[in-house]
Structure 1
């Protein structure tokens, strides 16, 4: 099959394609978490092994394909359409077989099966559209397995109608956000998938903090159009930025769902840290004087990593508190709200320290500017300091982890 190029999505000859690396990672994930649920396990692997290669083959061989690009790779309308159809048909057969014949999963009405499979097929197709360099070999099996398992579980609690409504309405909201230039198109679909995961597992109360963070930070960003740093962008947040800010929170939501534990305080801490960092940057841009380096006190340009200012510090506290105060919805104590605020603020401070010390810095040989971007003026920049593997998005991930760890330690000590 490899020699005949029938498994093109798993094995490609393009040197920039890492599908053969992502495939065992997704297999490992499904083995660890879904080995005892063979129908879910098989669904994830077979969609990647059958539906994705067929869609790729159709997209490459159709005459005059209608090509589009959401993130990095070119996709075709014909290929994506076939991805949806083949995923829908394949999952329908698998679930009907597992439900009606082998009883490896509960017996489901045909209308419910088609409804669940339809939602999963849409989400999976969007996930494939936003992939690059073979990353769909990792994302597709995981998206299929997670959403299929979650939707079947939530059917027993009569939550599918509200989940379906959310998935549809939130897609419209996120698409509107691209019109407002709050998100890029790849960021839009990533935020939609993350939001769908969190709503499907935890409901509206858990989604609300992310929306408060997203809307408030977007408004703050759009309130100023000047003094944009070389290291900032005036375009919307992209896929990687969305994952960096919301990835840890999503993992906490999934962990809490499957372990039936209450992780809301840790979830709020992660979102509070992302909010604190963003508010610090956006409000700090309004400081009348330039920021200073958090450790060396050297004067920096507005928006440069590692910089702190009075307004930025106040903004960080406000951003963390804006998320922490949402704890009142679940009758959280004032002490816990203050802990969340402190955790978010501490994460933001950690972000500044890491940004000013370990984050990679570069110099552009074409225009002579110092930058935090590995490529500038359409060529690779020269690395000058910091660790290459740590960019601004990596620092943002660490920022949220710091906040969660702080809350965990505090609760472990004080109860």
Structure 2
């Protein structure tokens, strides 16, 4: 029975990866990565795990396509283009894959599901903030100092972007209650996703690798070449800590916060 479920899971993962590649949401490498991660989550986790992953994928991809024109002039700042590659897919879904593998060995450990929901809420919140934050009429401010910065600057936040963060986390939390009908889930997963996304911004403002393009006189996440084709020069942050690692670290943090909040509230309530 389990072997059949895993086979069906990977077939579904491959189908979603293929569709995402066809609509140009994923690159070829991204489609293969989605097949692996989707196959693991669908095959080992079942419906409740699969639905959260699909909620993230459909909502984030939909927003990326719907508001792509608003980000057109910001593409030079981001590390990669609109099509997610294998590293981006693993950055957003890798924590979920690790958790569902653990769930296969310890199916009675409910905290693994809570951690997964927190991780998915984080990556969804971060994507919503990126896609909808650019709609803000006001310039973003750096999360660490409040300094006004250019749109697309790592660590820059806006009021509307923060609301979008909460909305993205809240959507995952709301869907989670379909499988765990407890009001506490809604609060815990929402707060975990918000916390993870804010950590993403904090890391982006402090330790993430940021570069300069001397030719364009522009700060960027791109390395080793800017979109103009010229080499970029390291400006600040750890050279090994790129945006993909920041995203993965934030999803880990969201998972930890979710479990911590769940156990804390559980102790308080009784």
Query: What TM-score, normalized by structure 1, do the two folds share?
Result: 0.59
Q: Is the 8 A contact 2:212 2:220 kept in 1?
A: yes
How is 1:403-414 mapped onto 2 (pairs within 5 angstroms)?
Answer: 403-414=254-265
Q: Is the 8 A contact 2:5 2:44 kept in 1?
A: no
What residue is the counterpart of 1:189 in the other structure? 32
Larger Rg over CA atoms: 1
**Corresponding residue to 2:151 among 302, 311, 336:** 302
- Total equivalences in the alignment: 258
Q: Is the 8 A contact 2:29 2:85 kept in 1?
A: yes
CA deviations 1:224-272 (Å, max 9, x no partner) are 2134322234431111011111111111111111122221111000000
Q: Is the 8 A contact 2:6 2:43 kept in 1?
A: yes
Does 2:185 correspond to 1:336?
yes
How is 1:27-42 mapped onto 2 (pairs within 5 angstroms)?
Answer: none
Are the structure 2 counterparts of residues 252 and 162 from structure 1 closer, same or farther at C-alpha, using a change threshold of 3 Å? Answer: closer
Taking the aligned partners of 2:262 and 2:47, their CA distance within structure 1 comes to 25
Task: List alignment gaps of at least 5 residues for structure 1.
Answer: 1-157
Are the structure 2 counterparts of residues 227 and 410 from structure 1 closer, same or farther at C-alpha, using a change threshold of 3 Å? Answer: closer
Q: Is the 8 A contact 1:227 1:302 kept in 2?
A: no
What residue is the counterpart of 2:58 in the other structure? 215
What residue is the counterpart of 2:70 in the other structure? 226
What residue is the counterpart of 2:212 in the other structure? 363
What residue is the counterpart of 1:237 in the other structure? 84
- SS for the counterpart of 1:330 is coil
Q: Is the 8 A contact 1:167 1:196 kept in 2?
A: yes
How is 1:366-385 mapped onto 2 (pairs within 5 angstroms)?
Answer: 366-375=215-224, 376=226, 377-385=228-236
- SS for the counterpart of 2:249 is helix
**Corresponding residue to 1:314 among 163, 183, 195:** 163
Taking the aligned partners of 1:412 and 1:205, their CA distance within structure 2 comes to 21
Taking the aligned partners of 2:248 and 2:177, their CA distance within structure 1 comes to 26
RMSD: 1.7
Taking the aligned partners of 1:340 and 1:226, their CA distance within structure 2 comes to 29
Q: Is the 8 A contact 2:188 2:262 kept in 1?
A: no
What residue is the counterpart of 1:114 in the other structure? none
- SS for the counterpart of 2:148 is coil
Shift of 1:169: 4.0
Shift of 1:413: 3.1
CA deviations 1:347-399 (Å, max 9, x no partner) are 11111111111111111233332211122244542111111121111111111
